[in-house]
Amino acid sequence: MQIAIDVILLFIVCFYLIRDRRIGGEHPFKGVNEKKLELLSDSFNEMIQESKRILGELSERMESKKEEIDRSIQEADRLLIRLEKTTSPCLINDNMDNDKYQKILELADEGLRTDEISGVVRLPKGEVELVLGLRKE
């Protein structure tokens, strides 16, 4: 990427040099000797080498960051699996509780008293009253 930018900049500079010389009526390469061209070429080659070095360093750093991200994703996956294993029993209990609460509401709609509902769903009478009280709100 950096090399392409350097080449484009070199062409732009050459374009403007040639254009300015033509406007002045002189030959575009008049007064440019081999020594100047050689110095310019050496300078350009140095810029290319420096660009390659920088691109190599950037590539190494990006690869390092990619490996770090991959390790983080693997660790997150391991933690997620552990979390799922520890929360599964809780989710099952929550679903069972929700089923009991739904049953409480159904039995109340059928006209059963609180103590009767408590015996059917095997929950304390106070919890049954709480569920029914929450439904009223």
Residue 103 predicted with pLDDT over 60: yes
More confident residue, 122 or 20: 122
How far apart CA 85 and CA 100 sit, in angstroms, is: 24
How far apart CA 57 and CA 85 sit, in angstroms, is: 42
Mean pLDDT of the region 77-89 = 76
Mean pLDDT of the region 14-26 = 66
Query: Is 2:55 a contact under the CB 8 Å cutoff?
Result: yes
Residue 63 predicted with pLDDT over 60: yes
How far apart CA 113 and CA 99 sit, in angstroms, is: 19
Q: Among 8, 14, 5, which residue's Cα sits nearest to residue 32?
A: 14
Cα dihedral 114, 118, 124, 126, rounded to 10, equals -10
Is residue 74 helix, strand or coil?
Answer: helix
Average pLDDT, the chain: 79
Residue the block writes with tokens 């920088």: 54
Say what the pLDDT of residue 85 is: 74
CA angle 83, 88, 93 (to 5 degrees): 140
Six-digit token string for 53:
């070095």
Residue 129 predicted with pLDDT over 60: yes
Residue 78 predicted with pLDDT over 80: yes
Is residue 25 helix, strand or coil?
Answer: coil
Say what the pLDDT of residue 91 is: 46
pTM value? 0.39
